[in-house]
Amino acid sequence: MKKKLTAGFWEIVAGIVLRNRITILVIIFLLTVFLAFQWRNVGMTYNEANLLPKDHPANKDYTQFLNTFGEEGNLVVIGVKDTKFFTPKAYAAWNELMSTLKKQKEVELIVAVNDLKKLQKDTINEKFELVPLIDQKQTGNQSYLSNIRKQLFNDLPFYEGLLFNKKSGSIRGAIYINKKVVNSPIRKQFILKVLVPEVTKFEKATGIDLKVSGMPYIRTINTENMKGEIGLFIGAALFITSLIFFLFFRSFRATFISICILIFGVMWSFGTLGLFHYKITILTAIIPPLIIVIGITNCIFLINKYQQEIKNHNNQAKALQRVISKIGVSTLMTNMTTAIGFATFMITGNDLLYEFGLITSINVIIVYLLTLVVVPIVYSFMAMPKEKHLKHLSKTYLSSLLDWVENVVRYKRKTIYIIYGLLLIFSVIGVSQMKVSGSLIGEMPKSASFFKDILFFEKEFNGVQPLEIMINTKRKKGVMKSSTIRKMEELQQTIDSMPELSKPVSIVNLVKYSKQAYYNGNPEYYQLPTSQEQTFILGYAKNATKNSKENLMKSYVDATGQYARITTFMKDIGTKEMAKVEARLHKRINQVFPSDRFEVKLTGKALVFQKGTTYLVDNLIESLIFAILLIAGLMAYMFRSVKMIFASIVTNILPLCITSSLMGYFGIPLKPSTILVFSIAFGISVDNAIQFMAKYRHDLIHNHGKIKKSVVSALHETGVSTFYTSIVLIFGFAIFTLSSFSGTIALGGLISVTLTFAMFANLLVLPALVLTVEKWSGKGDVIDEPTLKILRSQVEEDDEDEVIETEKK
């Protein structure tokens, strides 16, 4: 077991790769073709992100609600606030718009002014009947339309908050999409091919600006925006990484080889998504550009090592063999730590994060293997690099930078530790100011037109994010009991008094409207009937609900009459405020509904998402600690030294602390997108520490245990690659700030900031810690012979003759 990752093993690997070049390239080509065929299984997701495990209580409550009442996020609203709306021309266009939409098979029900029904008492048959509010033959008459507006706003309180805002004069139509297609590609076709063109047609005909929102619409447009950004990210990542790579290496062929490897990596990443039949989500959409950014670092390490070997001995065969045998194990470990950073998301119990963690970690290892075999194979067919291609190895600015770093590390370690301590104090203060926030629409692009429409509905109708209250009366037909109705009304009054929530809708509204209709439509009687009135009024009401196509309230009581629901919508208020709203509602529910007779649950997409955000934050420390322990375990296997592990971990925790503090100081909340930063950044930033430690351990043997000399030599050799890879990663992750999604912007920006601090930490803090820790061990400037023997036993040298020659000298 111990020999598996030794230099001897990697020499065997190098021999296999270089002796079977054509065969390996053919295998890579065939695998690429196979994975390309898997692309047909890749598609966009049509559901919101569920951040909770399936067995979480909030998820169970939501599932029970869906099983009882069906999909609740099927409402699309079209709003307008314009005095020209109640004019013959505008009304005719509106009527045409709604009539066209109503004919579509994807639409289950439309409630709009043009086809509005009012409840009317039929005294002869002792029943209520639904009759049209508007006589379509008179809609060409301006005075008639003005009278309809007056009647709607003054005499029909049942529709207030649902179809109109009495104070501002805004109007909206409610389109209920068929629940069977709302989470399918059919919804996308309806929204993009029917709804959007018809809305545009209305706006052109009338000059009136329509506002469109609702979760089906938001999800569709959001998905289209996300799809468009995949190509942007891939193109930007390829451009920026290849440009920086070329500026460093000044070699077209090295750049071209790297680009080809990255393109294959992107193809394989899409292929693995298809192989697992996973959909493209807000997270999996960034996997291909992530693979580009991470994969280019492997190219830098291998090509830089190849060119260093050519410069040292001008022997191509030897250089190619050493690229694999010397760099193979250290780059494997660095890619393993990066993969672990992503793989920790698999333990959260969340499907979205599980898929992201699994696919990304697999592809990190895949692109490593591609680079490890393709770079040596391709260079074996090429002529040796020319002198101009090797100039970057001795660039003045890099030499000066590393000389300055060496001077600081050797003679100013106290200064480094003082700055480290101050930054740590700065970080602790900043972390204490961090806040948790998350909402269904909080991650969406603020500049998008649909987001402006969301703000319109938040202002006019108090939001579009559904919040549901499910009431179990624990007996059949218990909903229609007078006592139950009155309890529901008490709860609805509380909801109505909360500015964060919209006017609630339930069977209570229909019962109140029934009383108004019984008293000939007098709006003063829009209230619950007395116990004496209820018997015959509810008898009338039953006949008004027979036509299921026109019955708006049929979805608010289940078929048994045991379950009722109260639907409200909420503003984008964030996690903290949402928790306050939930607490207030629970308090009122406990006061109104005795637990022995009722079971009342709060649920809905908005609440599930909020609880998902809290759940992820609670699991952040767990997943991060798990990542640190796994990475420490890998380093323990590789180095067999507690000191090396301690120095590496301490060095790379500081950048995470600084990033956390900056989030606190600048008011960037912890939310689903920013939570991902820490495990990813730690897994990547520790790579440079592993490269340094591997070289340091190697040099200790060559330098007969001389600590300072080994630290300096390791610093100068790995410092170039550390600088190159860090710059590429920093700018590579920065491409995500091109996104229109605030979450993706935060993810890219924060990881770039973290890696910037990590670069300086690994160049300055890590070497200084190594010197200090070795000094604490009482070894002075030279490691004792027993320890040196242990090191020799752990490392099988790449070139035994070289070691022997060094020892002779």
CA distance 425 to 457: 44
pLDDT in tens, 440-460: 666 677 777 788 888 898 888
Tell me the mean pLDDT in the region 493-512: 90
HEC readout, 144-179: HHHHHHHHHHHHCHHHECCCECCCCCCEEEEEEECC
Q: Name the residue type at position 222.
A: N
Is the predicted pLDDT of residue 734 greater than 70, yes or no? yes
**Average pLDDT value over all residues in the chain:** 83
pTM for this prediction: 0.79
> What was the pLDDT predicted at 807?
37
Structure tokens of 487? 């309890």
pLDDT confidence tier of residue 438, bands split at 50, 70 and 90: low
Structure tokens of 257? 């080889």
pLDDT confidence tier of residue 548, bands split at 50, 70 and 90: very low
> What was the pLDDT predicted at 777?
57
> What was the pLDDT predicted at 549?
46
Among 51-55, 136-140, 291-295, 490-494, name the one with the lowest average pLDDT.
51-55
Is the predicted pLDDT of residue 473 greater than 60, yes or no? yes
Is the predicted pLDDT of residue 809 greater than 70, yes or no? no
Is the predicted pLDDT of residue 761 greater than 70, yes or no? yes
By three-state DSSP, how is residue 491 classified? helix
Among 94-98, 293-297, 384-388, 462-466, name the one with the lowest average pLDDT.
384-388
> What was the pLDDT predicted at 397?
67
Helix or strand holding residue 568 (H, E): strand 563-570
> What was the pLDDT predicted at 218?
85
pLDDT confidence tier of residue 79, bands split at 50, 70 and 90: very high
Tell me the mean pLDDT in the region 51-67: 86
Structure tokens of 803? 């070691």
Tell me the mean pLDDT in the region 622-639: 77
CA distance 78 to 213: 7
CA distance 518 to 516: 5
More confident residue, 102 or 674: 102
pLDDT confidence tier of residue 801, bands split at 50, 70 and 90: very low
Is the predicted pLDDT of residue 355 greater than 50, yes or no? yes
Strands (E), 45-204: 75-80, 107-111, 117-122, 127-132, 171-177
> What was the pLDDT predicted at 1?
39
> What was the pLDDT predicted at 798?
41
Residue percentage of the chain with pLDDT more than 70: 90
Structure tokens of 764? 């300055």
pLDDT in tens, 228-242: 888 889 999 999 989
Tell me the mean pLDDT in the region 500-511: 89
Cα-to-chain-centroid distance, residue 347: 16
Is the predicted pLDDT of residue 504 greater than 80, yes or no? yes
